[in-house]
Chain A
């Protein structure tokens, strides 16, 4: 990792904290699933924290993101609150979507998160449309479109990248390449180069280590600034890895992914361990300070889970509310 510059210590510590918040959120969500307290299935973001945090820390609350089925990380990184998130995962009335959306549709309007999406690639048009609105209305916010390597197979991506490039829209396409599309290796479902596809439209594209939060953040800051000047769109492919199965129920996965491979990423490329070591090495935080921060996040999460478990479900009368806007 590069030496400390540009950003100050508080920013670095916040980045670290946000990554830990995501990991801790996911550990708790997984536990809720395993103990049969969470309805349905959910997709864990653990392992990919540096992507969401590196990018979202370069954005303001006015900047928008669109998220995916693996969306808890984006949601936390964009500033969401644990209580409302856990309430949503448990289908409670105080959840971000009043229990109507659940894990796969969590959205946080107050921080510019336009929502997770259960349709792979389903948010590519939405993100690009948000950028079109910014341009039309003369607003200077930027929209980041998160999607996976598997989602690059959706034709929609190529339609919207073409328009974004033609009209110089302030959108950044962030492809989280975690090597797998469900139970299939990316190499088996993606021909050629992913960045070259963006380049074919004249979009500047970058391929970076998605486990290095500083590198992700530094690049995103530059691209966001350029987007604000009308130089967008951009495309970033971030190499990363998901630690859990495709979803929480995907436990016996040796048939498509080896334990050795999982271990290699966890032991040697973990974004949190790497960044923590760097913080200590640079004298930005001591081990004790980091441990205290971790403990505080764990406490926050435990409290939020307890709160959500005790929180009421929405009243049945809410079932046909919100079908149409007033």
Chain B
């Protein structure tokens, strides 16, 4: 199968959906000629024109609001938010407006929009361009949240997101844009709420999102060399969450670590760990561990930044302790 980058995968998904459905349009800062600073959208303005690939001023709450209004009245906007950190600027339009309108209208109004943005540290971009804020959005009922872990997921999830009748937030890891993966030429969609078992195992389950899937896979390699068999699962969407698949795996392995690049505290990992405790408690041989980014703003200095995120070695070390029955002190 051909291999393309995550960036190309997103581009293809959007182009295909724009060809299929004339109500789909894009708006955001420097999305047209510049194709975004990460060049993810290059070429789209040439095909679809500036009517459907719209460069906006630096007015995030404003263009987010425009997207909500357009979505309520028959269009399917894709909002490009250059950095996930800017989600704080659009929170009112996203969480008070987009997320609640379907419910508040008794199901009469829909807000079919996609907010595509990014996450991820270690790019030396400091505290305001490195955050992984998926937990904030996942907390709000009415919003769906997708976290692609490779080009394959990025394409399939984006296409599903565009066709979904709800506001969907997609977090892409900004360090993965150039990562390649096999992606079929023919059309496919990845349904929301269906986890992907990346690797089967019997001793411990590593549940990981986005780029943490790679971290978990590398940890699984390290563990395999020591005779520990780790299962790696990528939920792919956080809301909806494929709870059944996670429970099934944990009931089999009886141990789990949940890894996500959001801050360790009050995060997605806590939610998943808690559900496992509630629903698989009697199958567990060890406490379910959370691993996230340290509870500090992301520091600029490489000497500090690199220690703030989960690493394969860190995951493997914790897995080793869980499998050995050692006491674990939550980090």
Given A100-B301, A105-B126, A118-B126, A316 contacting B307 (CB threshold 8 A): yes
Task: Assess whether A154 is interfacial by the CB under 8 Å rule.
Answer: yes
Interface residues of A in 130-146 (CB under 8 A from B): none
Q: Is the CB of A100 within 8 A of B304?
A: yes
Asked if residues B62 and A155 are in contact (CB atoms below 8 Å), the reply is: yes
A99 CA to B302 CA, complexed, in Å: 9
Q: Mark A69-113, 1 if CB is under 8 A from B, else 0.
A: 000000000000000000000011000011111111100000000
Which partner residue on chain B sits nearest A40 by CB separation? B124
A-B contact pairs, 16 of them (CB 8 A): A39-B301, A91-B303, A92-B301, A98-B301, A99-B303, A118-B127, A153-B57, A153-B58, A153-B59, A188-B55, A190-B57, A256-B34, A313-B302, A314-B303, A319-B307, A323-B295
- B34 with A182: CB separation less than 8 A: yes
Query: Are B300 and A101 in contact (CB-based, < 8 A)?
Result: yes
User: Distance in Å from the Cβ of B43 to the closest Cβ of chain A?
Assistant: 13
Q: In the assembly, what is the distance between CA of A256 and CA of B123, in Å? A: 26
CB of A227 within 8 A of chain B? no
The 6 closest A-B pairs by CB, nearest first: A102-B300, A91-B301, A40-B124, A153-B57, A99-B301, A313-B303
CB of B129 within 8 A of CB of A150, answer no
Cβ–Cβ contact A99 & B300, under 8 A: yes
Q: Please, which residues of chain A bring their CB within 8 A of the CB of B303?
A: 91, 99, 313-314, 316
Contact assessment for A39 and B59 in the assembled complex, using a CB-CB cutoff below 8 Å: no
Q: A39-B124, A40-B126 are in contact. Are A121 and B58 (CB under 8 A)?
A: yes
Binary contact track A154-193/B, C-beta < 8 Å → 1, others 0: 1100000000000000000000000001111000111000
Does residue A295 face the partner (Cβ distance < 8 Å to B)? no
Q: Which residues of A from 15 to 43 have beta carbons under 8 Å from B?
A: 39-41
Contact B300 A181 (CB under 8 A): no
Complex Cα–Cα for A202 and B128 (A): 33
Complex contacts, A184 vs chain B, CB 8 Å: 29-30, 33-34, 55
Interface pair A104/B304, CB less than 8 Å apart: no
Instruction: Answer yes or no: A284 CB below 8 A from chain B CBs.
Output: no
| CB-contact partner of A319 in B30, B59, B129, B299, under 8 A | B299
B274 CB–A CB distance under 8 Å: no
Q: A117-B128, A153-B58, A323-B295 are in contact. List 8 more A-B contacts (CB 8 A).
A: A100-B297, A101-B300, A153-B59, A182-B30, A183-B34, A188-B55, A190-B57, A314-B303
Q: Is the CB of A120 within 8 A of B58?
A: yes
Is A196 part of the contact surface with B, judged by Cβ < 8 Å?
Answer: no
Contact call B300/A154, Cβ cutoff below 8 A: no
Contact A99 B126, CB 8 Å, known A182-B34, A256-B33, A320-B296: no
Q: Does A318 contact B (CB under 8 A)?
A: yes
Report the nearest B residue to A117, measured CB to CB. Answer: B128
Q: Look across to chain B and name the residue whose beta carbon is closest to the beta carbon of A100.
A: B299
Q: Which residue of B lies closest to A148 (CB)?
A: B58
Q: Is A119 an interface residue (CB 8 A)?
A: yes
Taking Cβ atoms with an 8 Å cutoff, the residues of B that contact A are 29-30, 33-34, 37, 55-59, 61-62, 85-86, 89, 123-129, 294-297, 299-304, 307-308
**Residue A59 is within 8 A (CB to CB) of chain B in the complex:** no
Chain B residues with Cβ below 8 Å from A120 are: 58
Please state if B127 and A105 are interface contacts (CB–CB under 8 Å): yes
Beta-carbon contact of A154 and B58 below 8 Å: yes
How far apart are B34's CB and chain A's nearest CB, in angstroms?
A: 4
Q: In the docked arrangement, what's the CA distance between A79 and B123, Å?
A: 30
Across the interface, do B59 and A155 meet the contact criterion of CB distance under 8 Å?
Answer: yes
A30 to chain B, nearest CB (A): 16
Contact status B57-A102, CB under 8 Å:
no
CA–CA, A105 to B33, complex, Å? 29
Cα separation A64 to B295 with both chains bound (whole Å): 31
Which chain B residues border A182 with CB–CB below 8 Å?
Answer: 29-30, 34, 37
Bound complex: CA A151 to CA B34 (Å): 19
Q: Which of A299-326 contact B (CB under 8 A)?
A: 313-314, 316, 318-320, 323
Q: Which residues of A contact B304 (CB under 8 A)?
A: 91, 99-100, 313-314, 316, 318-319
- Given the known interface contacts A40-B123, A118-B128, the answer about A189 and B33 at a Cβ–Cβ threshold of 8 Å is no
B307 to chain A, nearest CB (A): 6
A118 to B131, CA, bound (A): 13
Query: Could you say which residues of chain A place their CB within 8 Å of the CB of B124?
Result: 39-41, 91, 102
Residue of B nearest to A316 (CB): B307
Residue among A97, A119, A255 making CB contact with B86, cutoff 8 Å: A119
Q: Which residue of B lies closest to A253 (CB)?
A: B34
A102, B126: Cβ atoms closer than 8 Å:
yes
